[in-house]
């Protein structure tokens, strides 16, 4: 049972927690009725029968006029319904003087106060956090059913790509999308089961797409969506559409059978396409929310063109939101310097400073 | 190089990215001056010298009246400073007719446009995200210096604690803090190097605290802060203080030498103490921000007592913030049902609905 999973079904507690009434403070367990009128001037005088420290159980039964010393977390001695804090008590031979008012239920955690047997403690679709592990474990659950991780394949296409600086000749660039995308997949609760780099050559591409599709739930193909290469990928898979009215990320296509996301080779476009198209699919497969949102006030006007949806990288200063302004749409630095993005709808020419915006936070 | 780390020093790019000027679209590379006045009616007529697809380099030099076919990402042929989109071009024998205006620099990504050699691409103190891996890798950096993970020891104290349901007799409860805290440490970029469960017995406790302190940068001791047990732990370590005016989490102490956080045994108090005291220390050690904040509007009045700081668990509905109202302060469900917490300062009696609040989000 670990942090890395999404709960597959509502999980109920097999027991009450706490499993018995317990003392919520250090002090003296007694009957609340005995201390209803206690005060510094007229303390209640209770016979001390013994003690039950944490983990111990007091065997006898406590009656009117009696008490037992307990620690925070001690099981409540039989007969007691109240714990008076140590700070208000004084020893007098075998008696305890209580100089403060009490009542039944004071400083007692009832059995099942935190969790009742049969209560759902981990909801289906919850991504497991430390406190979920805490409540499951405290209810005696050591293993929990989680959703199968989506199996994602990655095919990086492009004859211009090389893996190492030493191979970096004229016309070549370093391949960086595979590491970036596989980290995104991991952060979103998926598993990369296939990752290949392939040149823009039909036979190799076909072999890689076939193997990748066979091994994964869906395949992410980068660098396969520009006009020149589109035909190459489209000859192999049959995209439902090619090109989306968005910026960055316009060159994007999707094929249903086999399920292939045809993505841009440009890191920024590819990254945004991942948020726009891949994360929603992972959310459906896992039945959970992956994308986190924040809300803020736009600190500076952002312009946009009508007819396409803009994905504007922004940084946050408290609840003020600023666009990360860099020339060039392929600028990967804009991802590094930002905390997330806002979208500007197709029918808007921009967003004015002072307007409330919803930020999609980087996962 | 992976997601799990904090950059230890400013890291500069050893190269320009892109390493050469490249085509930003599919089309025809030419001299911008040749297409300054091109139009559908009066297209520019350019001699097609050849092509340079992605990864290829065109060997010759392009002069006035000439062009080369290029793909997105192609190295710009020598002499060219402009790429005209394929959509505006027509073939006519060995000539290309360009039916649209262009100019020098159009559709060209300059060398170093994204990252200049020597530019800092990963700042000291940055927790590595997918896009950081992307930019580092695209600049040829395969390994990066990260901060040493803080080594955290955990000592769970309490004679009432057992590990399994089968050992769950009268007065016993299941231990759940170790898994919860170690997951928190992990989520905060630390490493648990020591974890023990120990009874409330001085010799054992002393041995565990000594071993834990020796092996870790600091030790988290749970269940050692209530009045009854305080003396036990205080006999071994020497706390600077015991008890903090906060709720939940009041029973808390800290010893400087050895560095020991003396925390509550109650999961909720312990959890909040982790956020209030341990996370700030981890942030200092790692030189990074771990706690994430969001801002919202309180949807419902929250009352508080003057004289202590309240840590109120809240859930968010878009930018509206609601307290997670559950009776009992030890209620672990309140952690599960919430997204984070807000604090109410010592001198305030509460926060009114409609007020702006800052939410400490669960890590």
Contact B130 A181 (CB under 8 A): yes
Contact B174 A318 (CB under 8 A): no
Q: What pLDDT does residue B330 have? A: 58
Q: CA of B73: which chain A residue's CA is closest?
A: A160
Q: How close, in Å, is residue A46 to chain B by CA atoms?
A: 20
Inter-residue contact B28 to B96 (CB < 8 Å): yes
Tens digit of each residue's pLDDT (9 = 90 or more) over B144-167:
999 999 999 999 998 889 999 999
B contacts of A57 (beta carbons < 8 Å): 170-171
Q: What pLDDT does residue A70 have? A: 94
Q: Which of A15, A75, A157, A160 to mutate to test the interface with B (most CBs of B within 10 A)?
A: A160
Name the residue among A101, A85, A82, A93 with its Cα closest to residue A43: A101
Query: Which three-class secondary structure state does DSSP give residue B153?
Result: strand
A contacts of B144 (beta carbons < 8 Å): none
Beta strands in B236-345 (DSSP E): 239-242, 246-247, 253-255, 260-263, 292-298, 302-303, 309-317, 320-323, 340-344
Q: Which CATH architecture has domain B22-109?
A: Beta Complex (2.170)
Among A19, A227, A294, select the one facing B173 at the smallest CB separation: A19
Tens digit of each residue's pLDDT (9 = 90 or more) over A25-79:
889 999 999 999 999 999 999 999 999 988 889 999 999 999 999 988 899 999 9
- Say how many CB pairs under 8 Å bridge A and B: 289
Strand pairing class (B246-247; A120-122): unpaired
B contacts of A318 (beta carbons < 8 Å): 293, 295, 358
| DSSP code of residue A166 | G
Model ipTM? 0.93
Query: Residue B35: exposed, middle, or buried by beta-carbon count in 10 A (0-12, 13-18, 19+)?
Result: buried
Q: CA of A164: which chain B residue's CA is closest?
A: B140
How many secondary structure helices (H) and strands (E) does chain A include? 7, 26
Give the HSE-up count for residue B308: Cα atoms under 13 Å, Cβ half-sphere.
Answer: 15
Does the beta carbon of B171 lie under 8 angstroms from any beta carbon of chain A? yes
Q: Write down the CATH number for the domain with range B151-286.
A: 3.40.980.10
Could you tell me which residues come within 8 angstroms of residue A227 by beta carbon, excluding any fewer than 6 positions away? A251, B25, B26, B72, B86
Query: Which three-class secondary structure state does DSSP give residue A254?
Result: strand
What is the number of other CB atoms lying within 10 angstroms of the CB of residue B283? 17
Contact A129 B183 (CB under 8 A): yes
A contacts of B71 (beta carbons < 8 Å): 226, 228-229
Contact A330 B75 (CB under 8 A): no
Q: How far apart are CA B104 and CA B205, in angstroms?
A: 76
Contact B227 A140 (CB under 8 A): no
Give the HSE-up count for residue B318: Cα atoms under 13 Å, Cβ half-sphere.
Answer: 4
The dihedral formed by the CA atoms of A94, A99, A103 and A107, expressed in degrees to the nearest 10: -80
Q: Which CATH architecture has domain B292-361?
A: Beta Barrel (2.40)
Contact A54 B158 (CB under 8 A): yes
Interface subset of B 310-339, CB within 8 angstroms of A? 318-319, 327-328, 330-333, 335-336
Q: What pLDDT does residue B230 have? A: 59
Name the residue among A328, A46, A57, A144 with its Cα closest to residue B109: A328
Q: Which of B332, B355, B363 to mutate to test the interface with A (most CBs of A within 10 A)?
A: B332
B contacts of A14 (beta carbons < 8 Å): 165
Give the DSSP letter string of A39-60: -SSS-EEEEEEEEE-TT----S
Q: Which of A20, A105, A176, A329 to mutate to test the interface with B (most CBs of B within 10 A)?
A: A176
Inter-residue contact A290 to A363 (CB < 8 Å): yes
Q: What pLDDT does residue A56 have? A: 87
A contacts of B332 (beta carbons < 8 Å): 17, 114-115, 131, 134-135, 138
Q: How far is CA A34 from CA A18, A43, A48, A83, in A?
A: 26, 10, 14, 11
Q: How far apart are CA B162 and CA A16, in angstroms?
A: 16
Tens digit of each residue's pLDDT (9 = 90 or more) over A274-320:
999 999 999 999 999 999 999 999 999 999 999 999 999 999 999 99
Q: How far is CA B301 from CA B165, B324, B347, in A?
A: 41, 12, 16
Name the residue among A164, A363, A182 with its Cα closest to residue A283: A363
Q: CA of B163: which chain A residue's CA is closest?
A: A140
What's the predicted TM-score (pTM) here?
0.93
Q: How far apart are CA A342 and CA B2, in angstroms?
A: 27
Q: How far apart are CA A5 and CA A125, in angstroms?
A: 9
Q: How far apart are CA B190 and CA B218, in angstroms?
A: 11
Contact A134 B335 (CB under 8 A): yes
Q: How far apart are CA A139 and CA A135, in angstroms?
A: 6
Tens digit of each residue's pLDDT (9 = 90 or more) over A224-275:
766 666 568 878 999 999 899 999 999 899 999 999 999 999 899 999 999 9
What is the overall mean pLDDT for chain A? Answer: 93
Q: How far is CA B211 from CA B150, B182, B267, in A?
A: 17, 18, 24
Does the beta carbon of A265 lie under 8 angstroms from any beta carbon of chain B? yes
Contact B121 A336 (CB under 8 A): yes
Task: Report percent pLDDT > 90 for chain A.
Answer: 83
Contact B333 A293 (CB under 8 A): no
Tens digit of each residue's pLDDT (9 = 90 or more) over A90-135:
999 999 999 999 999 999 999 998 899 999 999 999 999 999 999 9
Does the beta carbon of B158 lie under 8 angstroms from any beta carbon of chain A? yes
Contact B55 A168 (CB under 8 A): no
Per-residue pLDDT in tens (0 to 9) along chain B, 363 residues: 889 899 999 999 999 998 999 998 889 999 999 999 999 999 999 999 999 988 889 999 999 999 999 988 899 999 999 999 999 999 999 999 999 999 999 999 999 988 999 999 999 999 999 999 999 999 999 999 999 999 999 999 988 899 999 998 888 999 999 999 999 999 999 999 999 999 988 999 999 999 999 999 999 999 876 666 656 887 899 999 989 999 999 989 999 999 999 999 989 999 999 999 999 999 999 999 999 999 999 999 999 999 999 999 999 999 999 999 776 555 788 999 999 999 999 999 999 999 999 999 999
What is the number of other CB atoms lying within 10 angstroms of the CB of residue B150? 21
B contacts of A4 (beta carbons < 8 Å): none
Residue extents of the structural domains in chain A: 22-109, 151-286, 292-361
Q: Is A79 left (phi over 0), alpha (psi -120 to 50) or beta?
A: left
> Is pLDDT of A329 > 70?
no
Does the beta carbon of A55 lie under 8 angstroms from any beta carbon of chain B? yes
Does the beta carbon of A224 lie under 8 angstroms from any beta carbon of chain B? no
Does the beta carbon of A171 lie under 8 angstroms from any beta carbon of chain B? yes
Contact A171 B55 (CB under 8 A): yes
Among A17, A165, A187, select the one facing B140 at the smallest CB separation: A165
Q: How far apart are CA A45 and CA A234, in angstroms?
A: 89
Q: What pLDDT does residue A226 have? A: 64
Q: CA of B54: which chain A residue's CA is closest?
A: A160
Q: What pLDDT does residue A230 have? A: 58
Does the beta carbon of B86 lie under 8 angstroms from any beta carbon of chain A? yes
Which H or E run includes A270?
A: helix A267-273
Does the beta carbon of A111 lie under 8 angstroms from any beta carbon of chain B? no
Contact B73 A158 (CB under 8 A): yes
Inter-residue contact A256 to A240 (CB < 8 Å): yes
Q: How far is CA A363 from CA A111, A189, A205, A338, in A?
A: 40, 11, 30, 12
Does the beta carbon of A74 lie under 8 angstroms from any beta carbon of chain B? yes
Contact B140 A174 (CB under 8 A): yes
Q: How far apart are CA A235 and CA A223, in angstroms?
A: 15
């Amino acid at each position: 049972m670990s942090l890395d999973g999404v709960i597959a079904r509502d999980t109920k507690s097999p027991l009450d927690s706490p499993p018995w009434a317990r003392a919520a403070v250090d002090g003296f367990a007694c009957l609340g009725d005995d201390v209803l009128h206690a005060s510094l001037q007229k303390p209640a005088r209770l016979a001390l029968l013994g003690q039950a420290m944490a983990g111990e159980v007091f065997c006898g039964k406590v009656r009117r006029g009696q008490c037992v010393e307990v620690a925070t977390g001690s099981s409540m001695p039989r007969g007691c319904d109240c714990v008076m804090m140590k700070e208000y008590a004084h020893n007098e031979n075998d008696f305890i003087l209580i100089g403060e008012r009490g009542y039944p239920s004071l400083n007692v955690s009832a059995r099942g106060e935190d969790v009742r047997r049969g209560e759902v403690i981990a909801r289906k679709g919850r991504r497991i956090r430390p406190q979920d592990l805490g409540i499951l474990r405290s209810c005696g659950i050591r293993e929990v059913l989680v959703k199968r991780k989506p199996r994602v394949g990655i095919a990086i296409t492009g004859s211009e790509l090389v893996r190492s600086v030493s191979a970096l000749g004229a016309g070549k660039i370093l391949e960086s999308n595979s590491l970036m995308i596989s980290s995104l997949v991991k952060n979103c609760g998926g598993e990369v089961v296939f990752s290949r780099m392939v040149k823009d050559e039909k036979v190799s591409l076909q072999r890689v797409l076939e193997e990748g599709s066979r091994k994964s739930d869906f395949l992410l193909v980068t660098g396969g969506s520009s006009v020149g290469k589109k035909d190459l990928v489209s000859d192999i898979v049959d995209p439902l559409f090619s090109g989306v009215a968005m910026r960055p990320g316009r060159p994007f296509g999707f094929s249903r059978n086999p399920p292939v996301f045809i993505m841009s080779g440009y890191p920024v476009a590819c990254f945004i396409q991942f948020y726009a198209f891949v994360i929603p699919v992972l959310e459906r497969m896992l039945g959970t929310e992956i994308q986190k949102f924040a809300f803020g006030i736009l600190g500076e006007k952002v312009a946009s063109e009508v007819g396409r949806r803009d994905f504007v990288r922004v940084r946050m200063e408290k609840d003020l939101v600023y666009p990360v302004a860099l020339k060039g749409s392929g600028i990967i630095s804009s991802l590094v310097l930002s905390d997330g993005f806002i979208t500007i709808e197709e029918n808007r020419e921009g967003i004015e400073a002072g307007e409330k915006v919803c930020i999609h936070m980087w996962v």
